[in-house]
Amino acid sequence: MQTEHFLKNIFSPTTFTEKELESIISKFKKVSFSKSDYLLKEGKIENYYWFIESGFARSFVNDTKGNDITTDFYGQGDIAIDWSSFFLRNPTRENIQALTDIVCWQLDFETFQQLFHSIEPFREQGRKKLVSSYFALKNQRVSFIADEAKERYLQLIQEKPHILKNVSLQHIATYLGITKYSLSRIRKEIAS
């Protein structure tokens, strides 16, 4: 029995014609990374659009003291990308690193542009993903100012429960803007 191609979960047959799906999916390349491999390194230009089929990755930046601070997590079905570097063609300040062995579907910038300009549902889906990413980033920024660390942690549990089982507490703490010890305290408080 043939299993459905992973990308058909991303590009729904109800949105795309069979011909469009075939055209889109045939342009993606399956790529595997080992734990700790980089999908993107600071100073490079983001040339790929990655859909994660399995495994986990994170993006991070180094602060002024050299500490790495997690900016996002990516799991199955997520797009691992630095949007501004990809679209503006400028060097990234972020790193994207595999936290586990991962399997991704890669689309290069030029091919993305061809699909974006030739297949309207691809363009619409791309716009929705970009807008959704912007709103998530905006909400995260406001949350850092307006919410207590405990609220940010509860929000993370609600939005990305799979992260908690697959990502180190250190990475989660830096993502929340707190120390590992504060995170332990918050987790104990919630458990009791």
* Alpha carbon distance 96, 160 (integer Å): 18
**Taking the complete model, does pTM exceed 0.85, yes or no?**
yes
Q: Over 90: is that where the pLDDT of 62 sits?
A: yes
Domains of the chain listed by start with CATH number = 6-119 (2.60.120.10)
Sheet holding 68-74: strands in order across? 38-40, 95-98, 57-62, 68-74
Q: What is the pLDDT of residues 83-141, one digit of tens each?
A: 999 999 999 999 999 999 999 999 999 999 999 999 999 989 888 888 888 888 888 88
* Alpha carbon distance 16, 20 (integer Å): 6
* Alpha carbon distance 81, 57 (integer Å): 11
